[in-house]
Each structure stands twice: as C-alpha cells, then as structure tokens.
Amino acid sequence: MSLQKQTISGLFWTFSQRFSVQLINFGVSIIMARVLLPADYGLIGMLTVFMAIGSSLMDSGLSSSLIRTPDADQKDYSTVFFINIIGSIIFYAILFLTAPLIASFYNQEILTLIIRVYTLSFIISAFVGVQSTRLTKEMNFKTQMKIQIPSVIGGGALGVLLAYLDYGVWSLVWMNLLQSTLSAIQHWIYSGWRPNFLFDKERFKYHFNFGYKLTLSGLLDTIYSNIYNLIIGKFFPVAYLGYYTRAKSLQQLPVQNISSALNKVTYPMFSAMQHENVKLKMAYKKLMQQVLFWIAPTMILLGVIAEPLIRFLLTAKWVPAVPYFQTLCAAGILYPLNSYNLNILKVKGRSDLFLKLEIIKKVIITVGIFIAVPFGIYGLLYLQVIISFVAYFINSWYSGKMIDYPMIEQVRNILPIILLATVLGGFSWFVDRYYLVQVLHMIDFGRIVIMGGLYFILYLAISQAIKIPAILDFRKLILKR
C-alpha cells in the first residue's frame, strides 16, 4: 500500500476509533455527571497531574524512538517492554508511599486510598505499551479501534452502575481500572506480539538517547498542562475544580481527539518523508490548514452555545462551568497546530531543540501564573488563552526553519480561517442572545440546533465562495470533486 493510501486508511480508522470511543465516553460522562456531584470530579481532578506524570515517565519517550526507527526488531521491542514494566512499578510504589502527603496537601483524607487504587492503571497499561506502539508504527488503527470500543463500553457500564448505586467518586475510579484492564487483555490477544526475555543495553542506549529528551519535554508539558488543576485544587473549593475538569473534558472532546488521532497517523507519515523537505512542507501545510478549518469554527461555535449546551447535557447544577468552558474553547483553537509543529522537530531527530523549546515555554508559563493568580480563577483561565498563542509562535518559528516554511507564511495561510470563524461567531452570538432568547424565547435544545446549523451553513458557504484552500482540498480528497 502506498504511503498516501496508508495515511488515508490510517486517518479513517483513527478517527473512527477516537470518535466512536469518545462518543461512548461522552454518553457515559453525561449520565454520570447528572448523578455525581462537581466535588466528585474535583477529587479525580486533583490526581490528573500525577496520572499524567506517570504516563510520561512510564513511556520514557521510547515509543517515539521505536516508531522512527525503520529497522526495529525483537531486541528493540523487548528491551522497551521491560523498561516500561520496571518504570511503572517504581512510579506506582512512589505514589503509594506518598499518597498520605498528597492527601494532606489538598486537605482531602479520602485521596490516600483513591490514589493507591486508581494508579494501579499505570502497571496495567505498561504491559501493552509496546503492543500499542507496534500497531501505531504499522498504522494498524483498525485493530486499535476493535480493542478500545469494548474496553470503553465495559468500563463505562460499570461506572454508570456504580454511580446509580451511590458509590460517588469510586464509580470513576473503578471505571478507569476496568477500562485499562480490558484494553490490556485485548492488546495481548489481538496485537500478535509477545516479548522475549532479553534486554539489550546497546538498544536501550540508542532509544534512551533519543527518548529521554522527549520524556523531559513531556514531563514539563504534563506538569504545566495540569498545574492549573493543582493550583485550583489547592486554593479554591473542590467544586471549582470539578467545574474546571468538566469544562476541560468537554473542550478536549473535539480538540484533543482530533489532535491525538492525527498525531498518531502523521508522526509515522512525517517520519517516512523526514529527508524530503519539499514533500514534508507540503504535507504539513495541507494538514495544518485542514485541521484548523474544522477546529476553529467548532471551538468558536461551542463557545457561543456554551450555556444552553451545558444546561441541556449536564443540568443546571453545572452552569457555573460555562465561562470556564468558553475560555478553554478559545485556548484550544491552536492546540493541534502546536502538536504538529513539534512533530516536525521529532522526525528531524531534534529532541534536544524540542526540550529547549519546552523549557522556554514553561518559564513563560511560570511567570504568567505568578501574575495571574492574584486575579483568581479567571486569571488562570485567560492565561491559558495567551499561552496557546505564544506557544504557537515559538513552535512554528523553529519547526518552520527546518522545512523552509517560515512562521509568517504559516500565519498568512491560517489567518483567513480564524478571521472567518471569529466574525461568524460574533454574528451567531448576536442572533442567539437577541433573537432566539429575547424574541422567540427558545428552549436550550432549539438554540443548539438552530445556531449549530446556521453557523456551519454560513461558514461552509462563505469558505467555498472565497475559495479557502482547505475546503477545496477537502472536496478533492474526500468528495473527489
């Protein structure tokens, strides 16, 4: 199969996997959010940073190294497999021993037992890290979809059952553990790979020398992506963190899922053309425009209909999360582009520059947090919007140099999309507030349907009329017109 066909097939199955899984997860989360309290989600939100750190450490950047290594063999895979297992056990032991300290930090005694049970998923997931990497390297996303859907259904069913049986926060804990377990079992059944009992020091050094810089970068990004949970959980009522985590999860449904799905496909695709800058630039340009073409209007529309959407889905008790969600939607517009710029650095083997840029961005965030905290929780939310734009300019400046695609040229290519989406967002907000609400007194569901339809009809029609390249490429690729 050609690289283009393999990529298109990979995109289809990855999007099918991500969106079918997330659709199920979304349905489960809606049901559970209607039963559970914001404080229950706040307790799990307090653990987000530790879960994310564990995932970064467990992988050690070795998976990315395996994917970009064209002749990886059994020695490579088995070596990484055992490193993952050892790393997960060590990190779990650290969290097990420090759980009382974490609970004391948040002044939530129940967290001690929650941490010791919830983080068992590290060890479970470590047993399938290499199997998942092999499937990604082979661009076998169809099998990954087969694995994920039953796992999410099984875990979700248990979570809903326990929520209705009044288990509170523990329904979220056991749901996560069952999903991890079902996923691990199926990876061993369907992946077709088993480790040999061997460990090659030279292979480990090779992958570690590339991967440790990505690990440090990932750790920095993980800590700072979740530092808002840490600060909100420490200095604000636990319900505030519940509102924030629920708003964040809704925002990530389109943003992170599109980004993660494309990342899975584009990293091996970019790796295959890492020495052909002209092809790499063209592939990146088309991808960037296509992703932003769909992400920008989606996030802006979600911001416009945030209040009726959250009240309709989660009930009125979650309405305080509306301004959180609207701000996070603005911050999420450029999120996928930041990921793809960094992928260019990885496929070029510049994990050293990758780490350097992460350090620079985190210094900026640290300064920003000290400035924002006195302004309360909204200061922290607005900071995330500012940081997303700063990060894009930093990432695109350096990655652009490597493929002869300067930042200014990138901005020129995406600016029409952002401007169109924003102007239509302002128009839609006016129609919703001053006509649907005040004149027609329309119910939440009606507002959601009418504004969603009106916005995208106008967006697609104007895009076609002014010939935005992304919609022309979409027609050629998908509609064959």
pLDDT score, position 410? 84
pLDDT score, position 427? 94
pLDDT score, position 97? 94
pLDDT score, position 264? 57
Q: Which CB contacts under 8 angstroms, 24+ apart, belong to 467-476?
A: 468/293, 468/416, 468/417, 468/420, 469/289, 469/413, 470/289, 470/290, 470/292, 470/293, 470/417, 471/293, 473/286, 473/289, 473/290, 474/290, 474/293
pLDDT score, position 337? 78
Extract the residue ranges of the chain whose pLDDT is less than 70: 1-19, 57-64, 68-70, 137-141, 210-214, 217-218, 256-277, 347-349, 351, 476-481
pLDDT score, position 51? 79
pLDDT score, position 310? 92
pTM (two decimals): 0.72
Q: Which CA distances in Å does 293 have to 42, 296, 418?
A: 33, 6, 8
pLDDT score, position 429? 93
